[in-house]
Structure 1
Amino acid sequence: MSSMTILGGHAAPLGATFDGEGVNFAVFSEHARRITLCLFSPDGRTETHRIDLPERDGDVWHGYVPGLRPGQMYGLRADGPYAPHEGHRFNYNKLLLDPYAKRLTRHPEWHDALMGYRVGHADIDLSFDRRDSARYMPRCVVEDVLFAWGRDKAPRRPTSQSVIYEAHVKGMTQLHPDVQHKGKFLGLASDAVLDHLVKLGITAIELLPVQAFLNDRFLIEKGLVNYWGYQTLGFFAPDPRYLAHDQIAEFQHMVARLHSAGIEVIMDVVYNHSCEGNELGPTLSFRGLDNRSYYRLADDPRYYINDTGTGNTLNIDHPMVLRMVLDSLRYWVEEMHVDGFRFDLCTTLGRTPTGFDRGASFFDAIRQDPVLTRVKLIAEPWDIGPGGYRVGGFPPPFLEWNDKFRDGVRRFWRGDAGHVAVLADRITGSALQFDHSGRPATTSVNFVTAHDGFTLMDVVSYTQKHNEANGEGNRDGHNDNASDNMGVEGPTDDPKILAVRAQRRRNLLATVLFSQGTPMILAGDELGNTQWGNNNAYCQDNEIGWLDWSDYDADFLDFVRRLIAFRREHPILRQKRFLHARERIVDGLEDLFWWRADGRPMRDEDWGAPELKTLCAEMRIASGTPIYAQREEALFLVFNRGPDVEVKLPEAPDGRRWRLWIDTGRPEIDGKVMTLPTVFAGCETTLMLELEAYND
Structure 2
Amino acid sequence: METLLTKKKQGAVVTDDGCYFSIHAPQINQIQLAIFNNDEPRFFDMKHTDGGAIHQCFIPNVTEDTQYSFCRKIKGSTQWLLDPCAKKVTRHPLCKKMLAAVTVKDQFDWQDVERPSIQRDETLIYELHAKGFSHLNRDLPEHLRGKFLGLCHPVMISHFKRTGVTTLQLMPIAASIDEAHLKSKKLTNFWGYNPVAWNAPDNRFAINDPVDELKTTVRELHREGIEVILDVVYNHTAESGEPGPVFHYKALDPLFYLHGYDGQFQNFTGCGNTIDLSHPPALKAVMDSLRYWVEEFKIDGFRFDLAATLGRRGECFDNAGGFFQTIYQDPVLSGIKLVAEPWDIGPDGYQLGHFPMGWLECNDKYRDTLRSYWHFNGQGLGEFATRIMGSRDIFSASVWPQKSSVNYITYHDGFTLQDLVSYQQKHNADNGEQNRDGHGDNRSCNHGVEGRTDNQSVVALRERQKRNLIASLLFSFGVPHLLAVDSLSHSQGGNNNAYCQDNNVSWPEWELDNNAKYFQTWMEAVISLRKQYMMPFIRAFSGAGRHTNRVEWLKQAGQPMEWQDWESERTIALHIGIGQDGNSLMILANPTADAASFSLLENQWELLLDTRQSSINKVAPKVVDNRFELIPHSMAILFQRGKAEHSL
Q: Is the 8 A contact 1:572 1:619 kept in 2?
A: no
Residues 300, 675 of structure 1: CA spacing in aligned structure 2 closer, same or farther, 3 A cutoff?
A: closer
> SS at the partner of 2:548?
coil
Residues 615, 370 of structure 1: CA spacing in aligned structure 2 closer, same or farther, 3 A cutoff?
A: same
Tell me whether 594-603 or 272-281 shows the greater mean CA deviation.
594-603
Residues 540, 530 of structure 1: CA spacing in aligned structure 2 closer, same or farther, 3 A cutoff?
A: same
Q: Distance in 2 between matches of 1:616 and 1:244?
A: 53
Give the alignment of 1:443-522 within 5 angstroms.
443-522=404-483
**Superposed CA offset, 1:124-167 (max 9, x none):** xxxxxxxxx73432210010121000021110000111111000
Partner in structure 1 of residue 80 of structure 2: 95
Q: Is the 8 A contact 2:32 2:46 kept in 1?
A: yes
Q: Is the 8 A contact 2:397 2:542 kept in 1?
A: no
**Superposed CA offset, 1:638-659 (max 9, x none):** 111122122111436xxxx210
Partner in structure 2 of residue 242 of structure 1: 205
Cα deviation for residue 73 of structure 1 reads 0.6
Cα deviation for residue 578 of structure 1 reads 5.0
**What stretches of structure 1 of length at least 5 have no aligned partner?**
83-90, 110-132, 624-629
> SS at the partner of 2:394?
helix
> SS at the partner of 1:432?
coil
Cα deviation for residue 384 of structure 1 reads 0.4
**What stretches of structure 2 of length at least 5 have no aligned partner?**
none
Give the alignment of 1:106-255 within 5 angstroms.
106=91, 134-180=95-141, 181-255=144-218
Q: Distance in 2 between matches of 1:481 and 1:333?
A: 36
Pair 1:294 & 2:294 matched = no
Partner in structure 2 of residue 112 of structure 1: none
Q: Distance in 2 between matches of 1:446 and 1:93?
A: 50
Partner in structure 2 of residue 19 of structure 1: 15
Partner in structure 2 of residue 70 of structure 1: 64
Q: Is the 8 A contact 1:211 1:236 kept in 2?
A: yes
Partner in structure 2 of residue 645 of structure 1: 596
Structure 2 residue identity aligned to 1:489? E
Residues 341, 441 of structure 1: CA spacing in aligned structure 2 closer, same or farther, 3 A cutoff?
A: closer
Structure 1 residue identity aligned to 2:399? G
- The count of corresponding residues between Structure 1 and Structure 2 is 637
> SS at the partner of 2:13?
strand
Partner in structure 1 of residue 562 of structure 2: 603
Q: Distance in 1 between matches of 2:172 and 2:537?
A: 28
CA RMSD of aligned residues (A): 2.4
Cα deviation for residue 478 of structure 1 reads 0.8
Q: Is the 8 A contact 1:435 1:578 kept in 2?
A: no
Residues 315, 622 of structure 1: CA spacing in aligned structure 2 closer, same or farther, 3 A cutoff?
A: farther
**Superposed CA offset, 1:458-503 (max 9, x none):** 0000000000100110010011110000111000011111100100
Q: Distance in 2 between matches of 1:72 and 1:51?
A: 15
Partner in structure 2 of residue 617 of structure 1: 574
Q: Distance in 2 between matches of 1:404 and 1:528?
A: 24
Q: Is the 8 A contact 2:554 2:561 kept in 1?
A: yes
Residues 380, 661 of structure 1: CA spacing in aligned structure 2 closer, same or farther, 3 A cutoff?
A: same
Residues 452, 594 of structure 1: CA spacing in aligned structure 2 closer, same or farther, 3 A cutoff?
A: same
Q: Distance in 2 between matches of 1:263 and 1:378?
A: 17
Residues 675, 9 of structure 1: CA spacing in aligned structure 2 closer, same or farther, 3 A cutoff?
A: closer
> SS at the partner of 1:374?
coil
Cα deviation for residue 78 of structure 1 reads 4.3
Residues 594, 572 of structure 1: CA spacing in aligned structure 2 closer, same or farther, 3 A cutoff?
A: farther
Pair 1:682 & 2:631 matched = yes
Tell me whether 393-402 or 535-544 shows the greater mean CA deviation.
393-402
Tell me whether 416-425 or 557-566 shows the greater mean CA deviation.
416-425
1:52 pairs with 45, 49, 57, which one?
A: 45
Q: Distance in 1 between matches of 2:2 and 2:401?
A: 54
Q: Distance in 1 between matches of 2:305 and 2:615?
A: 40
Pair 1:661 & 2:608 matched = yes
> SS at the partner of 1:139?
strand
Tell me whether 662-671 or 464-473 shows the greater mean CA deviation.
662-671
Give the alignment of 1:581-596 within 5 angstroms.
589-596=548-555
> SS at the partner of 1:608?
helix
Q: Is the 8 A contact 2:398 2:546 kept in 1?
A: no
> SS at the partner of 1:95?
strand
Structure 1 residue identity aligned to 2:257? Y
Partner in structure 1 of residue 583 of structure 2: 633
Partner in structure 2 of residue 29 of structure 1: 25
Q: Is the 8 A contact 2:187 2:500 kept in 1?
A: yes
Q: Is the 8 A contact 2:270 2:345 kept in 1?
A: yes
Q: Distance in 1 between matches of 2:100 and 2:404?
A: 41
Q: Distance in 2 between matches of 1:216 and 1:514?
A: 41
Q: Is the 8 A contact 1:575 1:621 kept in 2?
A: no
> SS at the partner of 2:556?
coil
Q: Is the 8 A contact 1:401 1:446 kept in 2?
A: yes
1:264 pairs with 215, 219, 227, which one?
A: 227
Structure 1 residue identity aligned to 2:638? L
Q: Is the 8 A contact 1:6 1:63 kept in 2?
A: no
**Superposed CA offset, 1:53-83 (max 9, x none):** 1241242221111111111110112468x9x
Q: Distance in 2 between matches of 1:587 and 1:617?
A: 17
Q: Distance in 1 between matches of 2:247 and 2:610?
A: 55
Q: Distance in 1 between matches of 2:510 and 2:552?
A: 42
Q: Distance in 1 between matches of 2:579 and 2:334?
A: 26
Q: Is the 8 A contact 1:660 1:674 kept in 2?
A: yes
Residues 256, 458 of structure 1: CA spacing in aligned structure 2 closer, same or farther, 3 A cutoff?
A: same
Tell me whether 674-683 or 559-568 shows the greater mean CA deviation.
674-683
Q: Distance in 2 between matches of 1:75 and 1:492?
A: 55
Give the alignment of 1:295-694 within 5 angstroms.
295-301=257-263, 303-353=264-314, 355-416=316-377, 418-435=379-396, 438-440=399-401, 443-552=404-513, 553-572=516-535, 575=538, 578=541, 589-609=548-568, 612-621=569-578, 633-642=583-592, 643-651=594-602, 657-670=604-617, 671-692=620-641, 693-694=645-646
User: Which consecutive aligned stretches of 4+ in structure 1 deviate over 6 angstroms post-superposition?
Assistant: 5-9
Q: Is the 8 A contact 1:216 1:226 kept in 2?
A: yes
**Superposed CA offset, 1:537-580 (max 9, x none):** 00000000111112251110110001100111124566256579
Partner in structure 2 of residue 104 of structure 1: 89
Tell me whether 674-683 or 483-492 shows the greater mean CA deviation.
674-683
Q: Is the 8 A contact 1:572 1:621 kept in 2?
A: no
Residues 476, 570 of structure 1: CA spacing in aligned structure 2 closer, same or farther, 3 A cutoff?
A: same
Q: Is the 8 A contact 2:519 2:614 kept in 1?
A: no
Partner in structure 2 of residue 275 of structure 1: 238
Structure 2 residue identity aligned to 1:57? D
Q: Is the 8 A contact 1:466 1:535 kept in 2?
A: yes
**Superposed CA offset, 1:573-628 (max 9, x none):** 66256579xxxx8686333111111111111121111xx121211123379xxxxx
**Superposed CA offset, 1:654-688 (max 9, x none):** xxx21001000124453444352111222111111
